Structures are given as C-alpha cells and as structure tokens.
Amino acid sequence: MQAIINLYLSNKKTNSVLLILSFYCALLLLFRVKITQSIFYFFLVWNLFLAAIPYLLLQVAKQKIQLFENGKIRLLLFVCWLLFLPNSFYIVTDFVHLPKGNPELFWFDLILLFSFASLGFLFGLLAIQEFKNYYLLFHCSKFIQTSIPIISILCGFGIYLGRFLRFNSWTILTHPFQLVIDAFQSLLSTEAVLFSVLYGSFIYLTYQIKNQFYGN
C-alpha cells in the first residue's frame, strides 16, 4: 500500500488529474450500465488499463532509478514499454463500436468513447514524455529526439496489428513466430504502411503540440 502511495506522490499533480479523469470515465460507464442494464462498453475498462501500463511502468521504474544504470535492464524495460505503448493510442479506434450501440444513446456513447479515448491518448503522451525524461539521463538528446517519431510510427503499426490482425501486446510471448511473420507481411501492404504513417504522424504531432503549449 505504501508503494502505491509513494508512486502517487512521486508525480502528485499529474496523477491527481489522471485519477479524476479515470473516475469521470467510470461514472459515465456505470451510468450507462444503470440505464441500459447492459455491459456492452465494459471492454473500455480493460483497454484503458492497458493504455495506462506504459506510463505506470516508467513511474514504477522511477522509484528505483538506479536500475536504469544497467544497460541490459534499461533495454529490457524499453522493449516492454514499447510493446504496450500502442495500447495507449489504440483505444481511439474503439469509435468503430459506436454504430453498434443504442441509437437513442448515440450522443451519450459518443462522449463516453471520447472520454476513454482521450484519457488513453493522454496516458500515451505522458508515457512518451516519461521515456524522454529518464532515457535522456543515459543517451544523447539527438538520439532521443530522433527516436520519438520512430516510436510514434511503430505505435501506428502496432495499432494496425491490433485492430486489423487482432494481435495484442502479449502475442510476442504466446505466438511469437506468427506475429513476426504476419508483421513482416504487413510491411508489404500499402494499407498497413499508410495506416501506420497516418496514425504515427498524428501521435507525433499531438505530442509536439502538447510540448509547445504545456512544456516538456
């Protein structure tokens, strides 16, 4: 329990906002369940949890910053972080479920999906910022700045693999060969490349806009 409190206090201002927004999303979802007696959109809870993992992973690692001094551990942490990072932005694609809902609740469902998607996207942007903050301690600024647009494009590709090929972050452990084969085949697809660039550039531009207005 004390570890959770310390984690919260380590970045109290940001974490407070994230908790408030999470509570708001939960209230919207519970209200919909109450009036419809349906748990149709409950998958958003799981998707939001996955969206928060990259940010939380670096927040936990920050408690033991000495771990970053080990190059192998730092690389392993980066790989785990990168595998989960697309989940933060993937939740935006959940708007595809909007037509499947109750037509009478269209505008409510629109706000519900927008709230979850915005919070997930925020987790992703903060995760990238945390990556920059901590890895700058061990790598040159030019390398980190160059890696961020590449990471954004990879997130776009990860979203494609999740939405269209239905892979998830732990497929690398359960079906690694199938994931690698399908991923390489997707690189030959114009649709996959364009989708990855489109979403990746949107992620990167949003990250830059956030920095422009709210600082690093």
The per-residue pLDDT string of the chain (216 residues; one tens digit each, 9 = 90 and over) reads 666 677 766 778 898 999 999 999 999 999 999 999 999 999 999 999 999 999 999 988 887 767 667 778 888 999 999 999 999 999 999 999 999 888 899 999 999 999 999 999 999 999 999 999 888 888 888 889 999 999 999 999 999 999 999 888 878 778 888 888 988 899 889 999 999 999 999 999 999 999 888 766
Closest Cα partner for 45 from 119, 127, 101, 105?
Answer: 119
pLDDT of residue 36: 93
Where do we find the tokens 């998707």? 47
Q: How many CB atoms lie within 10 A of CB 104?
A: 9
Q: Give percent helix, percent strand, percent coil of the chain, each to the nearest 5.
A: 85, 0, 15
Measured CA angle at 137 (ends 153, 65), to 5 deg: 100
- CA 214: distance to chain centroid? 20
- CA 204: distance to chain centroid? 13
Read off the tokens for 24.
Answer: 């708001």
pLDDT of residue 138: 84
Rounded to whole angstroms, the Cα distance separating 120 from 114 reads 10
pLDDT of residue 62: 80
